């Protein structure tokens, strides 16, 4: 069933996605039940099939498809400060800049969600620090095809494991404003302060240790510290940054 009224690589509102799924289910009258929690699933004794215990009772099925995905529960890193004075919010619970108090914001994590949140906060007039670790920087589109299409062609959607050395490498692409390539140099040029990978928080300060894989920094950058008298972390902060070394961060590649 094709998606009506739009190009295959375009971005549509969540309401249209929900309508598409509802229409698809009606094409074969699927007996869909929503809001059901599954407690356990086990094979039937002596015959094929499964016994599934749910919040609506027991269901027997010949086949089970586990399609829950890995993102139901936000993962909070152990380095997050245990300080009630520091307002923190996970990207799973972020909706707009108005959720955060006045002041600057530190965004920890530069994957697709992190860079889109950082960009939105900057557009809302906030001072933004973006903590960047190891990452790849693919184009949103290549040869008139969307990035996600290439992932399928190259078999990366079905890869059982990451390539050696890429276990913790994030990929940043954006679907905002119709989809565009994320360029960290451009973010810096627009006013976002790029700092290294977040190493921890101690005595009211955030410590950043950069591990760069991008083209605009070739040498190992310094450790940065960030004073945080009051701080909201998206995973966000009101903070003033100072360097632990005297070398200033710069972007050697000019941005037009």
pLDDT number for residue 210: 56
Nearest residue to 170 via CA among 92, 108, 249, 237: 108
Domain 86-243 class, CATH top level: alpha beta
Can you give the residue ranges of every domain in the chain? 86-243
Q: Which residues of 28-43 are buried (b: 16+ CB within 10 A; e: fewer)?
A: eeeeeeeeeeeeeeee
The per-residue pLDDT for 168 is: 64
Per-residue pLDDT at 178 exceeds 90: no
Q: pLDDT value at position 177?
A: 81
Please state the pTM of the whole predicted model: 0.67
Q: Is pLDDT above 70 for 183?
A: yes
pLDDT digits (tens, 9 = 90+) for 60-86: 999 999 887 777 788 888 887 777 777
Q: What is the mean pLDDT of the chain?
A: 77
């Amino acid at each position: 069933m094709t998606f009506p009224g739009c190009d295959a690589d375009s971005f549509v509102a969540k309401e249209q996605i929900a309508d598409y799924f509802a229409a698809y289910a009606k094409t074969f009258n699927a007996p869909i039940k929503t809001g059901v929690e599954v407690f356990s699933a086990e094979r039937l004794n002596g015959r094929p099939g499964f016994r599934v215990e749910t919040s609506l009772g027991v269901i027997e099925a010949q086949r089970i498809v586990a399609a829950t995905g890995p993102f139901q529960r936000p993962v909070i890193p152990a380095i997050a400060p245990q300080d009630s004075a520091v307002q923190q919010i996970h990207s799973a619970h972020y909706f707009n800049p108005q959720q955060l108090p006045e002041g600057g914001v530190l965004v920890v994590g530069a994957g697709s969600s992190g860079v889109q949140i950082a960009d939105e906060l900057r557009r809302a007039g906030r001072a933004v620090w973006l903590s960047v670790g190891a990452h790849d920087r693919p184009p949103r589109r290549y040869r008139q095809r969307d990035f996600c299409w290439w992932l399928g062609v190259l078999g990366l959607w079905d890869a059982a494991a990451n390539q050696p050395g890429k276990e913790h490498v994030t990929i940043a692409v954006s679907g905002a404003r119709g989809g565009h390539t994320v360029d960290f140099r451009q973010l810096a040029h627009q006013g976002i302060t790029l700092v290294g990978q977040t190493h921890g928080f101690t005595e009211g300060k955030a410590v950043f240790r950069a591990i760069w894989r991008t083209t605009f920094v070739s040498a190992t950058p310094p450790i940065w510290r960030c004073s945080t008298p009051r701080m909201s972390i998206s995973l966000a902060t009101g903070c003033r940054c100072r360097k632990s070394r005297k070398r200033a961060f710069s972007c050697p590649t000019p941005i037009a």
